[in-house]
Protein backbone atom coordinates (compact mmCIF):
# COMPACT_ATOMS: atom_id res chain seq x y z
CA UNK A 1 0.00 0.00 0.00
CA UNK A 2 1.55 3.32 -1.02
CA UNK A 3 1.69 6.25 1.36
CA UNK A 4 -0.75 8.39 -0.60
CA UNK A 5 -3.41 5.67 -0.61
CA UNK A 6 -2.86 5.00 3.08
CA UNK A 7 -3.26 8.69 3.91
CA UNK A 8 -6.54 8.79 2.04
CA UNK A 9 -7.89 5.71 3.80
CA UNK A 10 -6.82 7.07 7.14
CA UNK A 11 -8.85 10.20 6.68
CA UNK A 12 -6.04 12.73 6.79
CA UNK A 13 -8.00 15.09 4.60
CA UNK A 14 -10.60 15.37 7.36
CA UNK A 15 -8.12 15.46 10.21
CA UNK A 16 -6.18 18.30 8.63
CA UNK A 17 -3.42 18.30 11.22
CA UNK A 18 -0.52 16.48 9.62
CA UNK A 19 2.74 18.42 9.78
CA UNK A 20 4.69 18.92 6.57
CA UNK A 21 7.74 17.18 7.95
CA UNK A 22 5.93 14.11 9.29
CA UNK A 23 6.68 10.71 7.80
CA UNK A 24 4.12 8.36 9.32
CA UNK A 25 4.63 4.67 8.70
CA UNK A 26 2.22 2.59 6.62
CA UNK A 27 0.32 -0.47 7.79
CA UNK A 28 2.40 -3.46 8.92
CA UNK A 29 5.50 -1.40 9.57
CA UNK A 30 5.91 -1.13 13.37
CA UNK A 31 5.76 2.48 14.45
CA UNK A 32 8.00 3.72 17.25
CA UNK A 33 5.73 5.52 19.71
CA UNK A 34 7.06 7.85 22.40
CA UNK A 35 4.32 6.77 24.83
CA UNK A 36 2.95 3.33 25.58
CA UNK A 37 -0.56 3.13 24.12
CA UNK A 38 -2.72 0.05 24.71
CA UNK A 39 -5.51 -1.00 22.31
CA UNK A 40 -8.30 -3.41 23.28
CA UNK A 41 -10.03 -6.35 21.62
CA UNK A 42 -12.33 -5.39 18.78
CA UNK A 43 -10.46 -2.21 17.86
CA UNK A 44 -8.76 -3.86 14.85
CA UNK A 45 -10.93 -6.89 14.14
CA UNK A 46 -11.73 -5.81 10.57
CA UNK A 47 -8.04 -6.34 9.78
CA UNK A 48 -7.20 -9.11 12.25
CA UNK A 49 -10.43 -11.09 12.52
CA UNK A 50 -12.35 -12.19 15.59
CA UNK A 51 -9.66 -14.33 17.21
CA UNK A 52 -8.13 -12.51 20.23
CA UNK A 53 -4.69 -13.96 19.54
CA UNK A 54 -4.69 -12.72 15.94
CA UNK A 55 -5.77 -9.30 17.20
CA UNK A 56 -2.86 -9.20 19.66
CA UNK A 57 -0.43 -10.05 16.87
CA UNK A 58 -1.89 -7.28 14.71
CA UNK A 59 -1.49 -4.74 17.53
CA UNK A 60 2.13 -5.75 18.02
CA UNK A 61 2.76 -5.56 14.28
CA UNK A 62 1.64 -1.90 14.37
CA UNK A 63 4.10 -1.04 17.14
CA UNK A 64 1.73 -1.13 20.12
CA UNK A 65 3.59 -2.48 23.13
CA UNK A 66 0.69 -2.91 25.55
CA UNK A 67 -2.88 -4.16 25.65
CA UNK A 68 -5.79 -3.62 28.03
CA UNK A 69 -8.92 -5.68 28.52
CA UNK A 70 -11.72 -4.66 30.87
CA UNK A 71 -13.28 -8.13 30.58
CA UNK A 72 -10.16 -10.21 31.20
CA UNK A 73 -11.33 -11.58 34.56
CA UNK A 74 -14.45 -12.99 32.88
CA UNK A 75 -12.65 -14.74 30.03
CA UNK A 76 -12.03 -18.52 30.09
CA UNK A 77 -8.91 -19.46 32.01
CA UNK A 78 -7.37 -21.16 28.95
CA UNK A 79 -7.83 -17.99 26.89
CA UNK A 80 -6.30 -15.86 29.64
CA UNK A 81 -3.24 -18.09 29.62
CA UNK A 82 -3.00 -18.09 25.82
CA UNK A 83 -3.30 -14.30 25.67
CA UNK A 84 -0.64 -13.93 28.37
CA UNK A 85 1.69 -16.23 26.43
CA UNK A 86 1.16 -14.26 23.23
CA UNK A 87 1.81 -10.93 24.95
CA UNK A 88 5.00 -12.31 26.46
CA UNK A 89 6.20 -13.60 23.10
CA UNK A 90 5.46 -10.27 21.42
CA UNK A 91 6.96 -8.13 24.19
CA UNK A 92 3.65 -6.57 25.17
CA UNK A 93 2.58 -5.47 28.66
CA UNK A 94 -0.84 -6.13 30.11
CA UNK A 95 -2.75 -2.99 31.08
CA UNK A 96 -5.83 -2.74 33.25
CA UNK A 97 -8.72 -5.11 33.64
CA UNK A 98 -11.79 -4.41 35.79
CA UNK A 99 -11.23 -5.97 39.20
CA UNK A 100 -14.81 -6.38 40.41
CA UNK A 101 -18.50 -6.26 39.52
CA UNK A 102 -19.19 -2.53 39.36
CA UNK A 103 -22.35 -1.44 41.19
CA UNK A 104 -23.86 0.81 38.52
CA UNK A 105 -27.31 0.95 40.11
CA UNK A 106 -26.77 0.85 43.87
CA UNK A 107 -24.48 2.26 46.56
CA UNK A 108 -22.00 -0.36 47.69
CA UNK A 109 -18.65 0.94 48.95
CA UNK A 110 -20.09 4.33 49.91
CA UNK A 111 -22.85 2.69 51.95
CA UNK A 112 -20.57 1.05 54.50
CA UNK A 113 -22.65 -2.12 54.25
CA UNK A 114 -20.60 -5.04 55.60
CA UNK A 115 -21.91 -7.53 53.06
CA UNK A 116 -21.13 -5.17 50.17
CA UNK A 117 -17.62 -4.67 51.52
CA UNK A 118 -17.06 -8.41 51.92
CA UNK A 119 -18.26 -9.09 48.37
CA UNK A 120 -15.95 -6.42 46.96
CA UNK A 121 -12.93 -7.73 48.86
CA UNK A 122 -13.68 -11.26 47.71
CA UNK A 123 -13.64 -10.11 44.10
CA UNK A 124 -10.38 -8.25 44.64
CA UNK A 125 -8.90 -11.42 46.06
CA UNK A 126 -10.00 -13.39 42.99
CA UNK A 127 -8.56 -10.72 40.71
CA UNK A 128 -5.13 -11.23 42.24
CA UNK A 129 -5.09 -14.68 40.63
CA UNK A 130 -6.15 -13.18 37.29
CA UNK A 131 -3.43 -10.53 37.50
CA UNK A 132 -0.78 -13.15 38.14
CA UNK A 133 -2.06 -15.30 35.29
CA UNK A 134 -1.90 -12.53 32.70
CA UNK A 135 1.10 -10.63 34.12
CA UNK A 136 -0.97 -7.57 35.01
CA UNK A 137 -0.02 -4.96 37.57
CA UNK A 138 -3.06 -2.65 37.46
CA UNK A 139 -6.76 -3.31 37.96
CA UNK A 140 -9.63 -0.84 37.69
CA UNK A 141 -11.89 -0.05 40.65
CA UNK A 142 -15.11 2.02 40.54
CA UNK A 143 -16.72 2.53 43.98
CA UNK A 144 -20.34 2.49 42.75
CA UNK A 145 -23.21 4.89 43.38
CA UNK A 146 -23.47 7.55 46.03
CA UNK A 147 -25.56 6.71 49.08
CA UNK A 148 -27.88 9.71 49.11
CA UNK A 149 -29.07 8.83 52.60
CA UNK A 150 -25.63 9.61 54.04
CA UNK A 151 -23.53 12.74 54.26
CA UNK A 152 -20.74 12.69 51.66
CA UNK A 153 -18.10 12.74 54.38
CA UNK A 154 -19.44 9.54 55.93
CA UNK A 155 -19.54 7.97 52.47
CA UNK A 156 -15.94 8.97 51.89
CA UNK A 157 -14.82 7.34 55.14
CA UNK A 158 -16.65 4.14 54.15
CA UNK A 159 -14.89 4.07 50.78
CA UNK A 160 -11.47 4.79 52.29
CA UNK A 161 -11.84 2.05 54.91
CA UNK A 162 -12.79 -0.50 52.25
CA UNK A 163 -9.92 0.52 49.98
CA UNK A 164 -7.46 0.21 52.86
CA UNK A 165 -8.66 -3.35 53.39
CA UNK A 166 -8.21 -4.05 49.67
CA UNK A 167 -4.66 -2.69 49.81
CA UNK A 168 -3.82 -5.19 52.52
CA UNK A 169 -4.67 -7.90 49.96
CA UNK A 170 -2.83 -6.29 47.05
CA UNK A 171 0.35 -4.96 48.64
CA UNK A 172 2.08 -8.32 49.22
CA UNK A 173 1.78 -9.03 45.49
CA UNK A 174 2.91 -5.62 44.25
CA UNK A 175 -0.46 -5.06 42.57
CA UNK A 176 -2.22 -1.72 42.16
CA UNK A 177 -5.92 -0.88 42.01
CA UNK A 178 -6.51 2.30 40.05
CA UNK A 179 -9.58 4.33 41.00
CA UNK A 180 -11.43 5.67 37.99
CA UNK A 181 -13.55 8.82 38.34
CA UNK A 182 -16.39 8.70 35.78
CA UNK A 183 -18.28 11.68 34.37
CA UNK A 184 -21.78 12.75 35.42
CA UNK A 185 -23.22 12.64 31.89
CA UNK A 186 -22.50 9.00 31.09
CA UNK A 187 -22.71 7.75 34.67
CA UNK A 188 -24.96 10.00 36.79
CA UNK A 189 -24.94 9.49 40.54
CA UNK A 190 -21.62 7.71 40.96
CA UNK A 191 -19.66 8.37 44.13
CA UNK A 192 -16.35 9.03 42.39
CA UNK A 193 -16.45 11.59 39.58
CA UNK A 194 -13.55 14.06 39.86
CA UNK A 195 -9.78 13.85 39.91
CA UNK A 196 -9.34 16.05 43.05
CA UNK A 197 -11.70 13.69 44.89
CA UNK A 198 -9.72 10.65 43.73
CA UNK A 199 -6.49 12.38 44.73
CA UNK A 200 -7.80 13.04 48.26
CA UNK A 201 -8.92 9.44 48.67
CA UNK A 202 -5.58 8.04 47.52
CA UNK A 203 -3.76 10.36 49.92
CA UNK A 204 -5.99 9.16 52.75
CA UNK A 205 -5.54 5.48 51.89
CA UNK A 206 -1.78 6.05 51.78
CA UNK A 207 -0.74 2.95 49.86
CA UNK A 208 1.22 2.33 46.68
CA UNK A 209 -1.55 -0.17 45.85
CA UNK A 210 -4.21 2.57 45.56
CA UNK A 211 -3.70 5.07 42.74
CA UNK A 212 -5.68 6.99 40.11
CA UNK A 213 -6.74 5.97 36.64
CA UNK A 214 -7.03 9.37 34.94
CA UNK A 215 -9.44 8.86 32.04
CA UNK A 216 -8.97 11.92 29.86
CA UNK A 217 -12.37 11.50 28.18
CA UNK A 218 -14.27 11.38 31.47
CA UNK A 219 -12.37 14.26 33.00
CA UNK A 220 -12.76 16.49 29.94
CA UNK A 221 -16.53 16.20 30.46
CA UNK A 222 -16.50 16.32 34.24
CA UNK A 223 -14.02 19.10 34.94
CA UNK A 224 -11.93 20.08 31.91
CA UNK A 225 -8.71 21.92 32.77
CA UNK A 226 -6.92 18.70 31.87
CA UNK A 227 -3.23 19.52 32.13
CA UNK A 228 -3.48 21.48 35.42
CA UNK A 229 -5.56 18.68 36.98
CA UNK A 230 -3.07 16.07 35.80
CA UNK A 231 -0.31 18.18 37.32
CA UNK A 232 -2.10 18.47 40.66
CA UNK A 233 -2.81 14.73 40.81
CA UNK A 234 0.50 13.62 39.33
CA UNK A 235 1.90 11.79 42.34
CA UNK A 236 -1.21 9.62 42.55
CA UNK A 237 -1.73 8.85 38.84
CA UNK A 238 -0.60 5.38 37.78
CA UNK A 239 -2.54 4.92 34.55
CA UNK A 240 -4.25 6.97 31.82
CA UNK A 241 -7.08 6.19 29.46
CA UNK A 242 -7.91 7.96 26.23
CA UNK A 243 -11.01 9.01 24.33
CA UNK A 244 -11.95 12.22 22.56
CA UNK A 245 -15.04 14.25 23.41
CA UNK A 246 -17.73 14.30 22.16
CA UNK A 247 -18.19 10.73 21.00
CA UNK A 248 -15.51 8.82 22.90
CA UNK A 249 -13.57 7.96 19.76
CA UNK A 250 -9.90 8.23 18.74
CA UNK A 251 -7.83 11.43 18.99
CA UNK A 252 -8.73 14.15 16.44
CA UNK A 253 -12.37 13.03 16.35
CA UNK A 254 -13.36 15.64 18.95
CA UNK A 255 -12.20 18.72 20.82
CA UNK A 256 -9.21 17.57 22.90
CA UNK A 257 -5.73 18.67 21.81
CA UNK A 258 -4.21 15.25 22.39
CA UNK A 259 -0.82 16.14 20.95
CA UNK A 260 -0.34 18.74 23.70
CA UNK A 261 -1.72 16.44 26.40
CA UNK A 262 0.55 13.58 25.33
CA UNK A 263 3.54 15.93 25.11
CA UNK A 264 2.92 17.07 28.67
CA UNK A 265 2.58 13.50 29.97
CA UNK A 266 5.78 12.52 28.17
CA UNK A 267 7.71 15.51 29.49
CA UNK A 268 6.65 14.59 33.02
CA UNK A 269 8.49 11.31 32.51
CA UNK A 270 5.48 8.98 32.47
CA UNK A 271 6.59 5.47 31.57
CA UNK A 272 3.31 3.67 32.22
CA UNK A 273 0.41 2.70 29.97
CA UNK A 274 -2.23 4.84 28.28
CA UNK A 275 -5.25 2.69 27.47
CA UNK A 276 -7.13 3.34 24.23
CA UNK A 277 -10.56 2.97 25.85
CA UNK A 278 -12.66 4.32 23.01
CA UNK A 279 -14.46 3.30 19.87
CA UNK A 280 -13.56 3.97 16.25
CA UNK A 281 -15.17 6.98 14.59
CA UNK A 282 -15.38 5.15 11.24
CA UNK A 283 -16.34 1.50 10.83
CA UNK A 284 -14.32 -1.23 9.13
CA UNK A 285 -10.77 -1.25 7.85
CA UNK A 286 -10.88 2.42 6.90
CA UNK A 287 -11.75 3.35 10.47
CA UNK A 288 -9.01 1.14 11.90
CA UNK A 289 -6.42 2.79 9.67
CA UNK A 290 -7.77 6.13 10.83
CA UNK A 291 -7.20 5.14 14.47
CA UNK A 292 -3.61 4.10 13.76
CA UNK A 293 -2.90 7.31 11.86
CA UNK A 294 -4.48 9.44 14.61
CA UNK A 295 -2.15 7.96 17.23
CA UNK A 296 0.90 8.42 15.04
CA UNK A 297 -0.07 12.06 14.56
CA UNK A 298 -0.87 12.72 18.22
CA UNK A 299 2.37 11.05 19.28
CA UNK A 300 4.43 13.29 16.97
CA UNK A 301 5.17 15.90 19.64
CA UNK A 302 8.97 15.85 19.71
Q: Tell me which residues are annotated as active site.
A: 180, 277
Q: With CA atoms as reference, report the closest residue to 12 among 28, 24, 30.
A: 24
Identify whether 168 is preceded by a cis peptide bond (ω within 30 of 0): no
3-state secondary structure of 212: strand
Which residues share a beta bridge with 156? none
Which residues share a beta bridge with 107? 144
Give the Cα separation of 226 and 202 in Å (integer): 19
Burial zone of 247 (CB within 10 Å; 0-12 exposed, 13-18 middle, 19+ buried): middle
Q: With CA atoms as reference, report the closest residue to 52 among 30, 26, 84.
A: 84
3-state secondary structure of 76: coil
Residues 6+ apart with CB under 8 A from 138: 95, 96, 175, 176, 177, 178, 213, 238, 239, 273
**Chain center to CA of 282:** 21
Amino acid sequence: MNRRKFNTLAGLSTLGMMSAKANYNPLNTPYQYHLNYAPHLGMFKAHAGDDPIDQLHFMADQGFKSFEDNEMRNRPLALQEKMAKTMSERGMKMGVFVAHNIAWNRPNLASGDKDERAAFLSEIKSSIDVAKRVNAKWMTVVPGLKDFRKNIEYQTVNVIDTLKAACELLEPHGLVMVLEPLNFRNHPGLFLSESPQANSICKAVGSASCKILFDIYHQQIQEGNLIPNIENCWDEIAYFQIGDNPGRKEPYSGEINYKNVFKYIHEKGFDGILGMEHGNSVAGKEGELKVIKAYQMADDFI
